[in-house]
Amino acid sequence: MAPPRLVVVDDDTALAEELAGLFADVGYEVAGVAQTAEQGIQLVSDSRPDVVVMDVRMEGMSGTEAAEVLHRQHPEVGVILLSAYTDESIVRAAMDAQVAAYLVKGCSAAELLSTIENVAMARRGELP
């Protein structure tokens, strides 16, 4: 399997860069980093990644709203929402937006990487 191609979207620039560094360190291709959902949507359109790792709460358009747009415009791209929030209504809204996964910030790097690999494989039709 080719390494996943990713876009990272988070308004916390330090966290976004940290995630991008982690992904690059394990051999994933980071197509870009965006600080807003709108920038992230454009970056996905320009770079066609396998997976987007995106924060739920951002100024302007939320990650959930962006996931809905991405699902309509680029259904082949898997969206993983990464959030500090565990409120059931937020998680339900994310699932309604057709996200591939919802992870809570603070999850282990192993869990995040495993989720990315599974989503990328599913999107590429590589799951057994």
Average the pLDDT over 67-80 and give the result.
96
Question: In terms of Cα–Cα distance, which of 94, 75, 78 is closest to 86?
Answer: 94
According to the model, what pLDDT value does residue 19 have?
96
pLDDT the model gives residue 55: 96
Please give the structure tokens belonging to residue 89: 């209504």
Count CB-CB contacts under 10 A for residue 127: 10
- Residue ranges of domains in the chain: 5-124
- Between 13-25 and 109-124, two packed helices, what is the crossing angle to 10 degrees? 70
State how far the Cα of 34 lies from the Cα of 26, in Å rounded to an integer: 20
Task: Report the percentage of the chain scoring pLDDT > 70.
Answer: 98
Q: What is the reported pLDDT for 87? A: 87
User: In the prediction, which pLDDT does 128 show?
Assistant: 55
Q: How does pLDDT run across 47-58, given as a tens digit for each residue?
A: 999 999 999 999
Q: pTM for this one?
A: 0.94
Q: Residues 9-27: what's their mean pLDDT?
A: 96
| CATH topology for the 5-124 domain | Rossmann fold (3.40.50)
* pLDDT tops 80 at residue 1: no
pLDDT at position 79? 98
Q: Could you report the per-residue pLDDT of 76-115, keeping only the tens digit for each?
A: 999 999 999 888 998 999 999 999 999 999 999 999 999 9
User: Mean of the pLDDT values across residues 54-77?
Assistant: 95
